[in-house]
């Protein structure tokens, strides 16, 4: 078994310092926004919360996928995924402003609006503030529990060398993936879809989950490119591992496109008055331009670039694609929820593209906080998992 090392690349500390600086700047900007326009603060904060919580959930999903399937691609990034998943411990704290802003964000929280709307009356048993907050506690309890046991058992295997723990990790990951799909589906309905309670889609939760995993893959690739040449990553982040990450990125780009087009075809072909306005408002004005950008830069261009084997085997080149996708993931989530946020939850939402400076400030603040938490968790244990039999085998083959 290779020795457990506490050596950290200098880039880890530098990343944490930059994240804390961004968090401080963003928090100050959000505080100013809170005093000048509280309603806009809540809307922008929800957007930032959904994005960065999504990255954490994507890390949790990738971690469980690797526990089930194994593979070289996850050996060097296992601790990064575990650290990203453990940031969900702090999810309820970060959710507090959303809870405080329910009355501003969600039209179903207003008794007068419910009394005047038969559709809201039918959904009142589910869409009410106490049940909404209770479900949120359950979501974070499940996600935090999965992250805790996956990290704890992984560290226990490193310390004891007990190969049997791998079976426990596989079993937990199998059931955990089912739980993750269900809870993310319900959470996306609660936090995002219910912004426009007249609209619904059975594919929406899967679309959100696939996007979260895609964001996590892109983020991890950026870290690999940033730190892959330093110890202890240098001995495990091989061209084959980078290639596998590139193939995984391509697979989820195609899966996202498939699910997005499937939802559009189903809604458009049905042509129901309670469903079609959601897309109409996103095809008009500035939102239509954003939609075209998503087609080009969330699918077409990345798809063509990622077909190249040479690009997928170069960490730097792959990171360029990942960075572009990470930025476009930000834009895609904004396209999904901002029209309803700007429409204050009313049916039909907003028909214009009206970004606010806090729509950038809030994600920067939360992104800085999230990355700082990631670095903190990353430094709490060794950067490699020496108890992993696959890692031992790979290193033995390299030395042979």
Secondary structure of 83-148 as H, E, C letters: HHHHHHHHHHHHHHHHHHCHHHHCHHHCHHHHHCCHHHHHHCCCCCHHHHHHHHHHHHHHHHHHHH
- Does 203 reside within a domain? yes
What confidence score (pLDDT) does residue 7 get? 62
Structural domain total, the chain: 1
290: tokens are 């954003």
What confidence score (pLDDT) does residue 59 get? 98
- Does 321 reside within a domain? yes
- Does 395 reside within a domain? no
Measure the CA–CA gap between 168 and 153, rounded to whole angstroms.
Answer: 8
Measure the CA–CA gap between 31 and 159, rounded to whole angstroms.
Answer: 45
The answer, yes or no, to whether the previous bond of 232 is cis (omega within 30 of 0) is: yes
Which domain does 35 fall in, by range? 10-387
- Residue 353's CB is within 10 A of a number of other CB atoms, namely 18
DSSP 383: S
- Does 399 reside within a domain? no
SS (H, E, C) 253-284: HHHHHHHHHHHHHHHHHHCCCCCHHHHHHHCC
The C-alpha torsion from 138 through 144 and 149 to 154, rounded to 10°, is 160
Instruction: Kindly give the residue spans of alpha helices, DSSP state H, lying in 192-314.
Output: 204-227, 239-270, 276-282, 285-294, 301-306, 309-312
42: tokens are 């809540």
- Residue 122's CB is within 10 A of a number of other CB atoms, namely 12
DSSP 72: G
CA distances from 96 to 45, 49, 92, 379 (A): 10, 10, 7, 27
- Among 122, 313, 56, 99, which Cα is nearest to 191's? 99
- Among 22, 46, 17, 5, which Cα is nearest to 232's? 5
DSSP 300: I
What confidence score (pLDDT) does residue 339 get? 92
Buried b / exposed e along 182-200 (16+ C-beta atoms within 10 A)? ebbbbbbbbbbbbbbbbbe
- Does 2 reside within a domain? no
3-class DSSP state of 176:
helix
- Does 1 reside within a domain? no
CA 345 from chain center: how many Å? 23
- Does 397 reside within a domain? no
Is the pTM value of this prediction over 0.85?
A: yes
What confidence score (pLDDT) does residue 399 get? 62
Per-residue pLDDT of the chain (400 residues; tens, 9 = 90+): 444 455 677 788 889 999 999 999 999 999 999 999 999 999 999 999 999 999 999 999 999 999 999 888 888 899 999 999 999 999 999 999 999 999 999 999 999 999 999 999 999 999 999 999 999 999 999 999 999 999 999 999 988 888 889 899 999 999 999 999 999 999 999 999 999 999 989 999 999 999 999 999 999 999 988 887 777 777 778 888 899 999 999 999 999 999 999 999 999 998 988 899 999 989 988 899 999 999 999 999 999 999 999 999 999 999 999 999 999 999 999 999 999 987 654 444 455 788 999 999 999 999 999 999 999 999 888 888 877 787 777 766 666 5
What confidence score (pLDDT) does residue 71 get? 86
What confidence score (pLDDT) does residue 4 get? 45
Measure the CA–CA gap between 379 and 347, rounded to whole angstroms.
Answer: 47
Q: Which residues, in sequence order, are CB contacts of 162 under 8 Å at separation 6+?
A: 156, 387
253: tokens are 């780009």
């Amino acid at each position: 078994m290779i020795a457990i090392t506490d050596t950290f690349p200098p880039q880890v500390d530098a990343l944490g310092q930059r994240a804390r600086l961004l968090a401080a700047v963003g928090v100050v900007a959000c505080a100013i926004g809170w005093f000048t326009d509280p309603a806009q603060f809540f809307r922008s904060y929800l957007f930032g919360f959904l994005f960065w919580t999504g990255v954490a959930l994507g890390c949790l999903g990738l971690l469980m996928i690797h526990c089930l399937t194994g593979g070289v691609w996850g050996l060097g990034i296992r601790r990064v995924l575990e650290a990203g998943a453990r940031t969900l411990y702090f999810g309820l704290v970060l959710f507090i402003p959303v809870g405080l802003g329910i009355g501003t964000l969600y039209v179903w929280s207003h008794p007068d609006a419910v009394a005047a709307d038969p559709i809201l009356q039918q959904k009142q048993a589910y869409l009410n503030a106490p049940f909404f907050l209770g479900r949120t506690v359950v979501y974070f309890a499940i996600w935090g529990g999965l992250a805790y046991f996956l990290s704890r058992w992984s560290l226990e295997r490193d310390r004891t060398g007990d190969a049997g723990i791998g079976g426990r990790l596989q079993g937990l990951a199998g059931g955990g993936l089912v739980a993750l799909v269900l809870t993310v589906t319900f959470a996306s309905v609660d936090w995002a879809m219910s912004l426009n309670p007249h609209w619904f889609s059975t594919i929406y939760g899967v679309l959100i989950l696939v996007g979260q995993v895609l964001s996590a893959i892109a983020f991890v690739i950026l870290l690999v490119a940033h730190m892959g040449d330093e110890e202890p990553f240098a001995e495990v982040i091989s061209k084959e591992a980078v290639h596998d990450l590139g193939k995984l990125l391509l697979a989820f780009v195609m899966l996202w496109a498939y699910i997005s087009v499937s939802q559009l075809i189903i809604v458009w072909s049905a042509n129901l008055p309670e469903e079609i306005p959601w897309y109409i408002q996103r095809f008009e004005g500035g939102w239509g331009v954003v939609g075209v950008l998503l087609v080009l830069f969330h699918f077409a261009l990345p798809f063509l670039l990622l077909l190249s084997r040479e690009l997928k085997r170069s960490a730097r080149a792959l990171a360029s694609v990942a960075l572009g996708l990470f930025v476009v993931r930000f834009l895609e989530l904004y396209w999904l929820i901002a029209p309803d946020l700007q429409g204050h939850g009313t049916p039909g939402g907003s028909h214009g593209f009206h970004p606010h400076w806090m729509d950038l400030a809030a994600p920067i603040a939360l992104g800085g906080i999230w990355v700082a938490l990631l670095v903190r968790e990353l430094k709490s244990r060794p950067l490699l998992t020496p108890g992993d039999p696959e890692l031992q085998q790979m290193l033995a083959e390299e030395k042979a």
